[in-house]
Structure 1
Amino acid sequence: MPDHDPVVNLIACSHPPPLLLRGNHLTPLVTEETHLPIGFGGVFGIGTYDVQTFPFEVGDLLLLYTDGVIEARNAAGDFYSFTERAQDWTMDDPDQLLRHLREDLLAHVQGHLDDDAAVVVIRRQAV
C-alpha cells in the first residue's frame, strides 16, 4: 500500500480474495491472474507475479484471511459464511471486527477448528 496513493497492490497466489469493506458495502478483490504460492514458480522458485491495483481509500478496511476460515464447518457440515458475516460488522473498528468474527466463527464450529484460521484487518488511515 503506497503511503500517499489511495490504492492497494495485490498479487494472488492461490489465496482467497481479500475483502474490501467501505462503509456498509463489502467487495471481494478478485485479481485477473492467480499464481502458484511464492517460491513455487519459475527458476529456483523465482517467478514473475502480476500485480493488480485496487482503490483503498481513507477509512476502508481490508480483510485478509486463510482458507481455514471459509472452509470451517459446523456439525451439520455447513461452511462458515464469512463474507456474509463480515458484512454485519462493517462499521466496527478493526479490533471489534476481529473479536466479532472470532467469536462467531468459534460458535459456528462449536469451539473446534479442523484447520488453521487467520484473519488480518487493515484500516486505511489519513497520512
Structure 2
Amino acid sequence: MRTVPFGPGDRLLLYTDGFIEARDRRGGFLDLAARVAAHAGRPLEALVTGLRRDLLRHAHGDLDDDTALVALERLPGRGPGATAVRPPADGPG
C-alpha cells in the first residue's frame, strides 16, 4: 500500500472506465490527461463541467458505456481533527 499526501488545495479525480474508453468516430480515445490539464486552474464545478463537455464532444454524444466522474478538493484549514464552527441559528448571545 502507498500513502500519498492530500494537502489543502489538492484535488482527486475519480472516473469510470466508460469515461476513458469513449472513442471518437475514428476509434481514438479521449486524452484525459490533456483535458484535465486544460481545465486544472478552473473552479472544481467548472472542471467537471468542462471534462463532461469535452467527453461528449469527443464521442459526438454517442457513449457506448456508462460514465461517471467525481472530483474532490481539500479545502484549506480543514485538517485532521478540525471541526466546523457555526454561529447559533438565532444569532450571537
TM-score after normalising by structure 1: 0.58
Which has more radius of gyration? Answer: 2
Deviation for aligned residue 1:53: 1.1
1:76 equivalenced with 2:19 (yes/no): no
Deviation for aligned residue 1:55: 1.2
Q: C-alpha distance in 1, partners of 2:2/2:15?
A: 18
Given candidates 31, 36, 60, the residue that maps to 1:110 is: 60
1:55 equivalenced with 2:5 (yes/no): yes
Percent identity over paired residues: 44
Deviation for aligned residue 1:52: 2.6
Gaps of 5+ in 1: 1-50
Secondary structure of residue in 2 paired with 1:121: strand
Q: Which has the higher helix share?
A: 2
Q: Tell me which residue corresponds to 1:64.
A: 14
Deviation for aligned residue 1:98: 0.5
Gaps of 5+ in 2: 79-93
Q: What's the CA shift string for 1:9-64, capped at 9, x where partnerless?
A: xxxxxxxxxxxxxxxxxxxxxxxxxxxxxxxxxxxxxxxxxx43101110111101
Structure 1 residue ranges (4+ consecutive) displaced by more than 4 angstroms after TM superposition: none
Q: Tell me which residue corresponds to 2:69.
A: 119
